[in-house]
Structure 1
């Protein structure tokens, strides 16, 4: 038996492509090259391509692989690290399901659900999960700025409903800025979510499952002098990230249990991250991220390091877990 061919799939059709490239580089570095042949596969508006020794070759979508020297190379597994469409919303998962190719992330339904922040948070609210009050705007909706202001109060967040939260996300503090923020968010995706602002301590918790064994990671506390955890805070170092978070063991345990519960409720797979705001010992879910950032300095690698676990062995376990299901 030769080595399995692993495709680290990155790119996408949104502004998040720049983040996806950073995550791809992280994941590529984490996967065991002695055990697998690892390829970088890019999906964007120009097509599907694989990097083979610096040469860009076309990916054949009929079998998810490529041809080199008149020989076909099939990918045995896809590690999806596209933030946004088509990798975080279930489209790519549906394609891989049809070809019976295992992949790292959750399936079509879970991806569609968690990608839609508004629907996901409303769904989870039914199970006693605390979430911020929110309003959804769709193309053609008639809305009243004053009514939104009255309902959610300032400050409030305006962001794309089905994008990541790195781009076109605004903390709006006065009514004069609300219309512009809504229009900017509509430029990024077709639906806009507006959420009430909760002042508190922000923490995030990673979680993954191999076989029947679920592992919940230490919490990271996010402290930024920026107005909120925006692109510059995430990727240009304008943030302090403290792992483990400076909260009580009891509150830590409750948030970890909540994260395990969420994992089951959304039918997650592989590695996820749940983000929270703590206010008066109540933790409000911001979002469930089923394709979390995986740069070397991202939260999940930080938390894995703090837990004293070898990240390469986790990736091997996650890949083997899916390959064995197919075997």
Structure 2
């Protein structure tokens, strides 16, 4: 049996969600087919936890575990269930790449690109993908408030450039709120993005590889009871999520085409989930997650269920596809 490490946790507030996602992966992997282990990645320590809740440290030099002097565990593949850093931004992917250990999800180049909103949006715009008007600032940069207001307007969103699950995001309605919101975002990342708030229908689109073809899952319409689809709305169940989304057939065709096109442009693998807002019948891209939430509250598993594929089937395929990709890679 292939030995699979499910990595979960991470270095950000998203670690709580990652733990839930990791548990879902563990529950749904066929134990008759895979020898499955839970591996926790934290800022202070990396460790494997067995069924007796005993902890064994991970040797970071080669990502192995020593149970005894004569018993060393080496993994055949890593199932990456970490949202945010270091699992979604390319850091862990690069680490496993160097160690020559197959891992699920996109490679480190593409993970780094997609996690960086500035890079991702800039690239997609070159391919004709519509995005919201935006302004980028780094921590050491002087900026003109009037220039930002003139370009972006109010209300607007202030976001950490490299963050997920809406952590550090603020919706700003007036000039007086701008400074504190910028300060809040800079506490999460050294780069921020200020983006126009668009009026329209917010949707989420899951994409997978199935039978060597890119498949777009049923689209989810999001109705948040808060000002926007923030961390609380995403994970406490207070938002309303409608799958399939109530879209006009022509708009749905547009969305599906664009979601697939983005997946192809970014050269992704395994799974992804893109966020859009429909403005006057036109889809506007907001962001993409290459390791979407897999917990019971998350959107992606619900879309997959309606599509008719089980989590067990998808996870199994992700592992075997990742091993095949690893065998074929040139670098």
User: Per the shorter chain, which TM-score range?
Assistant: over 0.9
Could you list the structure 1 runs, at least 4 aligned residues long, displaced by more than 4 angstroms after superposition: none
Q: Alignment partner of 1:92: what SS? A: helix
How many angstroms does 1:210 deviate by? Answer: 4.3
Alignment correspondent of 1:59: 58
Greater Cα shift, 52-61 or 120-129: 52-61
Q: Alignment partner of 1:221: what SS? A: strand
Alignment correspondent of 1:275: 275
For residues 26-45 of structure 1, the aligned pairs below 5 Å read 26-45=24-43
Aligned counterpart in structure 1 of residue 18 of structure 2, from 17, 20, 33: 20
How many angstroms does 1:156 deviate by? Answer: 0.3
Deviations along 1:71-96, whole A, 9 cap, x unmatched? 00111111112221111111111111
For residues 1-327 of structure 1, the aligned pairs below 5 Å read 3-53=1-51, 54-70=53-69, 71-210=71-210, 212-326=212-326
CA contact (8 A) 1:210 1:321 kept: no
Q: Distance in 2 between matches of 1:293 and 1:111?
A: 16
Q: Distance in 1 between matches of 2:237 and 2:38?
A: 26
CA contact (8 A) 1:159 1:165 kept: no
Deviations along 1:287-324, whole A, 9 cap, x unmatched? 11111111123111000111122221111111112223
Q: Distance in 1 between matches of 2:190 and 2:20?
A: 26
Q: Distance in 1 between matches of 2:27 and 2:246?
A: 30
Q: Distance in 2 between matches of 1:184 and 1:282?
A: 32
1:227 and 1:93, CA in 2 relative to 1: closer, same or farther beyond 3 A? same
How many angstroms does 1:253 deviate by? Answer: 2.1
How many residue pairs match? The answer is 325
How many angstroms does 1:211 deviate by? Answer: 5.8
Q: TM-score, normalised by structure 1?
A: 0.96
RMSD of aligned Cα (Å): 1.3
Deviations along 1:132-181, whole A, 9 cap, x unmatched? 11111112111122321222000000011001142111000011111000
Deviations along 1:44-86, whole A, 9 cap, x unmatched? 1112111112112111122212011330011111111222111
How many angstroms does 1:238 deviate by? Answer: 1.0
CA contact (8 A) 1:275 1:285 kept: yes
Q: TM-score, normalised by structure 2?
A: 0.95
Q: Distance in 2 between matches of 1:179 and 1:145?
A: 9
How many angstroms does 1:260 deviate by? Answer: 1.1
CA contact (8 A) 2:157 2:197 kept: yes
Q: Alignment partner of 2:214: what SS? A: strand
1:145 and 1:64, CA in 2 relative to 1: closer, same or farther beyond 3 A? same
Structure 2 unmatched ranges of 5 or more: none
Q: Distance in 2 between matches of 1:228 and 1:276?
A: 13
